[in-house]
Amino acid sequence: MTNTAANIQCTVPVELGERSYAIDIGRNLIEHAGTMISEFAPGTKCAIVTDTNVNAAHGDSLRASLSGAGLEYHTIEVAAGEASKSSETLGIVVDKLLALRLERSDLVLAFGGGVVGDLAGFAAAITRRGMRFFQIPTSLLAQVDSSVGGKTGINSTLGKNLIGAFHQPSRVLIDVDVLKTLPEREFRAGYAEVAKYGLIKYPDFFDWLEQSHTQIFAHESALVDAIAKSCRAKAEIVAADETEAGQRALLNLGHTFGHALEGYTGYDGARLIHGEGVAIGMMMAHEFSNRMNLCAIDDVDRLRHHLKTVGLPTSIGDIPGDKPNVETLMGFIAQDKKVKRGALTFILTNGIGKAYIADDVPASEVSSFLKDHLSK
């Protein structure tokens, strides 16, 4: 590594044998991305897949970096928002990659938040039966979650992330400085995924977040620490279970409820964005666990207090607009990827940091819980 190393404050390895890669975390990394890419893949051609918002805010910086390193690049811009995770947009991106005559050894650069990362990664997975790609996540949610682990995909009208593939990136470049331009609502939503790691398996991390969240939201050094700790936690879980055959499913804490809520809102970001759905979903998972006599009410209250303290929603009633009905939510839950042979699978908990996979959860219990929750 050249002087770029001075900007890298932490490197987290993801150990997956021949598919292993590094997550580089630091400041001002976009300015050095061209150098880092050219060292990794000299002379490669790059396709930057980004959205309108990120392209306007940071696209010129990335393009200047690639040009400075002598790399050829092309930009493929999609509309910002969850609606771009569609078969229509995927087809457009794939066609453009093919029209550019990019080869399998060239690079797709996923430059944006979770939507762009999932979309660009899936396009890379299926174009020419698999192209290399770099994740350059620009939202907190993408930096701590969706850019790591190789899950790629798009949404279906029947549910979120139902179409996709596991396709590991060649590298992940996390520039903490880009978060300074992230809207506060998006930053808070990303924080929900940070808190998730403490809730599933790392209670000491949740303790630390309760003490350090003010510094994290102020973009102090604690933010780099939070991102690094989140990435280490996810890398550890992914390395043990790459394709979610077992314990990786713990990373879905809150997602079954959250995805159902996103589906109900029609992926309308004005009403609900992914991290907010996860926050409500994690809250509901703890409430449901308490209802099933699995965790103490003190843990439920502790989580609710922390989420409210950082400004995250904690109930379906916090979503603007009409409430869904039980039947609609149960319909989305039944389509969830974590359903096995028709039985409902949820990530439940015995307390903070004690999440576990619960198979064969009775649909009647979930339905009854939703009815009571919606009546509040």
Dig out the tokens for 261 from the structure: 């809520």
Respond yes or no: is residue 305 known to be catalytic: no
The pLDDT tens digits of the residues spanning 145-170 come to 999 999 999 999 888 899 999 999 99
Specify whether 244 is catalytic. Answer: yes
The alpha carbon of 225 is separated from its chain's Cα centroid by a whole number of angstroms, namely 18
Is residue 45 annotated as part of the catalytic site, yes or no? no
Annotated active-site residue in 77, 244, 276, 287:
244
Active-site annotation holds for 151: yes
Tokens of 299: 């843990």
Average pLDDT, the chain: 94
Q: What pLDDT score was predicted for residue 8?
A: 84
Is 234 catalytic? The answer is yes
Two tokens at 1?
């590594």
CA-nearest of 348, 175, 174, 321 to 255 is: 348
Cα–Cα distance, 341 to 367 (Å, whole number)? 19
For the cut 80, the answer to whether the pLDDT of residue 337 exceeds it is no
Q: What per-residue confidence (pLDDT) applies to 348?
A: 97
Token reading at 114: 């979770």
Burial class (CB in 10 A: 0-12, 13-18, 19+), 65: buried
Q: What are phi and psi of 356, to 5 degrees?
A: -150, 165
The whole-angstrom separation of Cα 249 and Cα 143 is 19
Q: Give the orientation angle of helix 297-309 with respect to helix 184-200, to 10 degrees.
A: 160
φ, ψ of residue 162 to 5 degrees: the values are -85, -10
Assigned fold of 3-181 = Rossmann fold (3.40.50)
Tokens 């839950």 found at: 333
In tens, the pLDDT along 191-237 reads: 999 999 999 999 999 999 999 999 999 999 999 999 999 999 999 99
Catalytic residue flag (residue 85)? no
Residue 122 has pLDDT above 50, yes or no: yes
Q: Of 129, 180, 341, 376, which is the active-site residue?
A: 129
Euclidean distance between CA atoms 254 and 192, whole angstroms: 10
Say how far apart CA 221 and CA 225 lie, in whole Å: 7
Q: What is the rounded average pLDDT of the residues 357-362?
A: 90
Annotated active-site residue 252? The verdict is yes
Query: 7, 53, 55, 252: which one is catalytic?
Result: 252
Which tops the pLDDT comparison, 338 or 2?
338
Beta pairing partners, 10? 25
Residues paired with 13 in a beta bridge: 22
Amino acid type, 348: L
274 is catalytic: yes
CB 270 within 8 A of CB 331: no
Assigned token pair, 36: 């880092």
Measured from the Cβ of residue 266, the count of other Cβ atoms closer than 10 Å reads 11
Residue 1, pLDDT above cutoff 50: no
Give domain limits for the chain. Answer: 3-181, 184-374
Q: What was the pLDDT predicted at 188?
A: 97
pTM: 0.92
What is the spatial distance between Cα 94 and Cα 88, in angstroms, rounded to a whole number?
A: 10
Nearest-angstrom CA–CA distance, 124 and 261: 29
Is 53 catalytic? The answer is: no
Segment 280-308, tens digit of pLDDT:
999 999 999 999 999 999 999 999 999 99
Per-residue pLDDT tens over the stretch 125-137 = 999 999 999 999 9
Say which DSSP state 33 is in: H
| 244-273 residue pLDDT tens | 888 999 999 999 999 999 999 998 999 999
Q: Which residue has the tokens 């590991």?
A: 168
Q: Note whether 3-181 and 184-374 share their fold.
A: no
Q: Does the annotation count 185 as an active-site position? A: no
Q: What span, in angstroms and rounded, lies between the C-alpha atoms of 273 and 19?
A: 31
Q: Is 28 exposed, middle or buried (0-12, 13-18, 19+ CB in 10 A)?
A: middle
81-91 mean pLDDT: 95
Task: Indicate the class that CATH gives domain 184-374.
Answer: mainly alpha
